[in-house]
Structure 1
Amino acid sequence: MALILKPEDFPQPDSRLALTVSYGEVDQMGYAYYGHYPHWFERGRGHFIRVRGMSYGEVEARGVWLPVRDMAVRYLRPARYDDAITVRTAVSEWGRASVTFAYQVFGPPEDATLLAVGETLHACTSPQGRPMPVPSWLRELFTF
């Protein structure tokens, strides 16, 4: 996985989800616990799908599941309690039966400090877990 470190190299179209780091998401030092970043990626991915005009629930209702096969995160700087952060999400790569999402997490001031980057690779499967080609309607939804 090639993590995208430069904001100007981030794929398009993208979406941005604003979050605030809650007290329950930080450790004793006041830093966001590393395990919350994958959850923020998931929230960013759901937001990306919604702003394209469909919920992930609707994608599943159409018979397409996107289980995570692989994930990578690089932590650059810590997010802290009560920080306003932005999760940027886009599709970075298509496979015959897979899609890869890229993420950048920015901290305060807004979009100024890159805190983390990541990727998740998703298989495209039927509800029974059988691999299937990415449907054209899904590829079109994610690329406009």
Structure 2
Amino acid sequence: MIYSETPIDVRYAETDKMGVVYHANYAIWLEVARTDYIYKAGFSYADMEKAGIISPVVDLNIKYMQSITYPEKVIVKTWISKYSPIRSIYSYEIINENGDIVSTGSTTHVCLKKGSNRPIRLDKSFPEWHEAYLKIKEESDKGIDRKL
């Protein structure tokens, strides 16, 4: 798998009255990690949006296995688990300071022409991005394990 690791410092404001990270913050952490993965792969959501394309989340799954509290530090490990020119699925593991996987998740994305909600193909609109993702998928399929 070709992955990235994004450090997250748990902020006090992300916790509930019990001092545990509130569940909705995990979705934000996944977005931060996905944006970091894309940046490390050499691309940018900002450039995509400047070209009039958006990439909304169409499915979000999070499994909570162990609480995270303030002031812990975690790592969000991110990789592409499935890719086609129409749809990308990113998978995640949130790892605590002890090296335990405390949460897993995935997000599914499509690319749309902004304002029309018409799906577009990544290979047609962003061929360099498509080629990079194909290469990443090919390496992952061969069992190559490396960090971006």
TM-score range for the pair, normalised by the shorter chain length? 0.7 to 0.9
Aligned partner of residue 37 in structure 1, secondary structure: helix
Aligned partner of residue 139 in structure 1, secondary structure: helix
Which letter does structure 1 place at the counterpart of 2:113? Answer: S
Which residue number corresponds to residue 3 of structure 1? Answer: none
Conserved? CA contact 1:83–1:108, under 8 Å: yes
Choose 1 or 2 for highest CA Rg: 2
- TM-fit CA distance, 1:96: 4.3
- TM-fit CA distance, 1:82: 0.7
2:113 is equivalent to residue 126 of structure 1: yes
Q: 2:63 aligns with which of 45, 63, 74?
A: 74
Q: Which runs of 4+ in 1 moved over 6 A?
A: none
Distance across 1 between alignment mates of 2:7 and 2:109: 24
Structure 2 residue ranges without an equivalent (≥5): 137-148
Aligned partner of residue 137 in structure 1, secondary structure: helix
1:1-144, aligned counterparts within 5 Å?
Answer: 12-109=1-98, 112-128=99-115, 129-135=117-123, 136-142=127-133, 143-144=135-136
Aligned-residue CA RMSD in angstroms? 1.5
Count of aligned residue pairs for this structure pair: 131
Comparing 19-28 with 128-137, greater Cα deviation is found at: 128-137
Distance across 2 between alignment mates of 1:105 and 1:19: 10
Which letter does structure 2 place at the counterpart of 1:141? Answer: A
Which residue number corresponds to residue 142 of structure 2? Answer: none
Which letter does structure 2 place at the counterpart of 1:123? Answer: V
Structure 1 residue ranges without an equivalent (≥5): 1-11
- TM-fit CA distance, 1:132: 1.3
- TM-fit CA distance, 1:26: 0.7
TM-score by length of 1: 0.84
Distance across 2 between alignment mates of 1:54 and 1:134: 13
Deviations 1:49-70 (A, max 9, x none): 1111222101222343211111
Distance across 2 between alignment mates of 1:140 and 1:118: 25
Structure with higher helix content: 2
